[in-house]
Amino acid sequence: DAGITQSPRYKITETGRQVTLMCHQTWSHSYMFWYRQDLGHGLRLIYYSAAADITDKGEVPDGYVVSRSKTENFPLTLESATRSQTSVYFCASSGSGASYEQYFGPGTRLTVT
């Protein structure tokens, strides 16, 4: 029972490169979310998706692109990485029930040099 997985777990890239972070869940949850977590800022929502082919911006979407062609996958792409995007990225998912609780993946630590 894998639940929700993220890959890679660690990534070092250079400024200007494109990077894609992967998220996969096995619960058939409708909702999926991408957050970044930085000291002093806590968890901030980047993008979320209510279902396949339905995505919406969160609090800090600039510089990021998402897609969701399949319910179970929700990749996050940094089109041209910047040093300010150095962070820990968490993917989360939630069912379509009324309780709204979210379950988090293990995270990806991204460093942009």
Partner 1 sequence: QKEVEQNSGPLSVPEGAIASLNCTYSDRGSQSFFWYRQYSGKSPELIMFIYSNGDKEDGRFTAQLNKASQYVSLLIRDSQPSDSATYLCAAHSGYSTLTFGKGTMLLVSP
Residues near partner 1, by CB under 8 A = 31, 33, 40-43, 45, 48, 50, 56, 58, 90, 94, 96, 99-107
Cα–Cα distance for residue pair 15/90, rounded to 1 Å: 21
CB of 70 to partner 1, least distance (A): 19
CB of 104 to partner 1, least distance (A): 4
Instruction: Bin 79: left if φ > 0, else alpha if -120 < ψ < 50, else beta.
Output: alpha
Nearer to partner 1, 42 or 69 (CB): 42
Cα dihedral 65/16/23/92 (nearest 10): -70
Four-point Cα dihedral 22, 28, 105, 38, nearest 10: 80
Nearer to partner 1, 12 or 51 (CB): 51
CB of 50 to partner 1, least distance (A): 7
Smaller CB separation from partner 1, 78 or 90: 90
